[in-house]
Amino acid sequence: MQISGAQMVIEALIAEGVDTVFGYPGGAIMNVYDEIYKQDNFQHILTRHEQAAVHAAEGYSKVSGKVGVAMITSGPGFTNAVTGLADAYMDSIPLVVISGQVPMSLIGTDAFQEIDAVGISRSCTKHNYLVTNASDLPRVLKEAFHIAATGRPGPVHVDIPKDVTAEIAEFDYSIKVDLETYKPHVKGNPRQIKKAIEAIANAKRPVFYLGGGIINANAAYEVRDLVHKTGIPAVETFMARGTLSHDDDLLIGMLGMHGSYAANMAMSETDLVIGLGARFDDRVTGKLSEFAKNAGVIHVDIDPASISKLVHANYPIVGDVKNVVNEILDSVSKINADKYEGWRETIENFEELHPLAYHEDTDRIKPQWVIERVGQLLGDDANISTDVGQHQMWSGQFYPFSRPRQFISSGGLGTMGFGFPAAIGVKAAMPEKTSINFTGDGSILMNCQELMTAVEKKLPVINIILNNNYLGMVRQWQTLFYDKRHSETDLSVQPDFVKLSEAFGGIGYRVKTKEEFDAALKDAVEKNIVAFIEVIVERLENVLPMVPSGGSLFNMMLLEKKEK
């Protein structure tokens, strides 16, 4: 059929089964927004900032497993969205971000709201397009969704000049995607898998190293089967929380800079690392020369560029984690789980020596308690988003995650301001679950305008603000490594967060006691509108354990034990 480029965008979204689009209109994308007005096949959620639109699409994608979609205009609309693109690229989140562009005749003239969007996005997207003919739109949009969702997922950017959205051309979405240079390798090499299984059978102190790629591949339940059938203990990266349930006896805990003592020591003592969907990030490995230095390494990943990029893999397996794990499960009967009993006892000793804990020795609420308490009260009924900082690490340490896609956070880029809009996207995708955003008094102000989005669209996100009147994580580093020179991290001058929420039509609470917190959370859940719960917490609390930057995993700063 002959339709306009703008109509093609709408028809492609419908064909892809898109039910939610996040965005912000402007001149260059106006033709597409006119077509959005005329349709009722999907909902459009108007955010109050383009960065928030992309973060909301990220949250939607992370919790649902679907491709998230955001739509923005040219110039500042696009540059505002770049942080979201970079965040999605670092965390391998499948997105299609459609931007308007000035008409073809004005490209390169420094026209009003012109920016080289494709040039800017090249380094922070999996792929990008500048569409110069409406006849190319069906192919480009179909390729964009395919590329975003397959292989190692990631964001794809499609830039469309305004005159192309007005141009009439033939629309045929039945074409098959066949990209000659893009053929993700999803099946693991059988010979390599066989060698890996033999290595596991011969290992005495193996450890599963579970990464966020397991979540992306929807492989968590297969991984649970593999861990249980082998009896091999497992550590999770920050992005893999929820792969195993928090109460799984074989889960040692979170690994890395703020990982548990037991997890970091197990990785330091292991003789075989079984890496599944992990990229050996610097926040996990610490000093590379000391990372699992007496261990062989099995590395399973869909992205061949990730394998042996940082840590040499003795058994490299390129393939979809779900497929490879299923292949290993078929041979798991050859592995005697009883032989690891002594190794599991060693790890239990690590856990008893320095358990993950905190001291309740203050008049103020400890932030760790707040996170634990939400877990006790809501548990599996909540999806947990976070901003970035101390509260983010405490969430990874202390929330009792029970399922994959329950935890939504900014890992690789570490984007303050991510949490609230992401939690809005989470609520849009999964309205039956309570959407909690753990945030700080620094992070929440970076996208607090999204209160209006949540109120307008009736998306009742509960923002729990752990207020220590500091830019907490930077303050912690300044305390520990800069002789307590707290340069520009004191946030004592603040808005009234209760009134701020109420001004937008939400509800606000300010709590100083545990009893007040319980009552506020209960009330916020029952009232079912967007909420700020400001919790006044201990100002100088540190996130521990901590591996200093560039240090070895076995050389941790630990919580001092209280004298009895």
- Of 30, 42, 104, 113, catalytic: 113
For residues 324 and 225, membership in a common domain is answered with: yes
Return the pLDDT at 25.
98
Query: Is 179 strand, coil or helix?
Result: coil
224: CB partners within 8 A, 6+ apart: 243, 244, 245, 248
- Of 112, 170, 183, 484, catalytic: 112
Q: What is each CA distance from 335 to 38, 228, 299, 330, 331, in whole angstroms? A: 60, 12, 19, 11, 8
Percent of the chain at pLDDT exceeding 90:
97
Return the pLDDT at 337.
78
* Average pLDDT, integer, range 391-411: 98
Look at the alpha carbons of 425, 428, 432, 438 in this order and tell me if their dihedral is positive or negative: positive
Listed residue (458, 411, 466, 415) closest to 437, CA to CA: 466
Interval 413-427: pLDDT, tens: 999 999 999 999 999
For residues 59 and 35, give the distance between their C-alpha atoms in angstroms, rounded to a whole number: 25
Q: Is 90 a catalytic residue?
A: no
For residues 382 and 252, membership in a common domain is answered with: no
Amino acid found at 386 = T
Q: For 305-456, where are the E strands, in sequence order? A: 315-318, 382-386, 407-408, 434-440
Interval 94-103: pLDDT, tens: 999 999 999 9
Does residue 554 sit within a domain?
Answer: no
Helices (H), 127-218: 137-149, 162-166, 190-202, 213-216
Interval 218-233: pLDDT, tens: 999 999 999 999 999 9
Interval 546-555: pLDDT, tens: 999 999 999 9
Residue positions counted in the chain: 564
Residue 345 pLDDT class (50, 70, 90 cuts): very high
Q: Is 16 a catalytic residue?
A: no
Does residue 212 sit within a domain?
Answer: yes
Return the pLDDT at 297.
98
Interval 40-55: pLDDT, tens: 999 999 999 999 999 9
For residues 161 and 289, membership in a common domain is answered with: no
Q: Domain ends where: 353, 387, 420?
A: 353
> Taking 60 as the threshold, does the pLDDT of residue 72 lie above it?
yes
Interval 362-382: pLDDT, tens: 889 999 999 999 999 999 999
Q: For the chain, how are helix, strand and coil distributed in percent, rounded to 5?
A: 40, 20, 40
Query: Is 46 strand, coil or helix?
Result: strand
For residues 242 and 140, membership in a common domain is answered with: no
Q: Is 456 a catalytic residue?
A: no
Residue 332 pLDDT class (50, 70, 90 cuts): confident
Interval 505-531: pLDDT, tens: 999 999 999 999 999 999 999 999 999
- Of 50, 143, 450, 538, catalytic: 50
Q: Is 50 a catalytic residue?
A: yes
For residues 295 and 201, membership in a common domain is answered with: yes
- Of 265, 446, 473, 556, catalytic: 473
Domain containing residue 34: 2-170
Asked if 531 and 508 count as a contact pair (C-beta separation under 8 A), the reply is yes
Asked if 72 and 467 count as a contact pair (C-beta separation under 8 A), the reply is no
Asked if 254 and 237 count as a contact pair (C-beta separation under 8 A), the reply is yes
Q: Is 532 a catalytic residue?
A: no
Fill in the DSSP letter of residue 83. Answer: H
Q: What is the number of domains present in the chain? A: 3
- Of 62, 162, 322, 366, catalytic: 162
* Average pLDDT, integer, range 203-223: 98
Return the pLDDT at 335.
75
Does residue 183 sit within a domain?
Answer: no
Note if the pTM is more than 0.85: yes
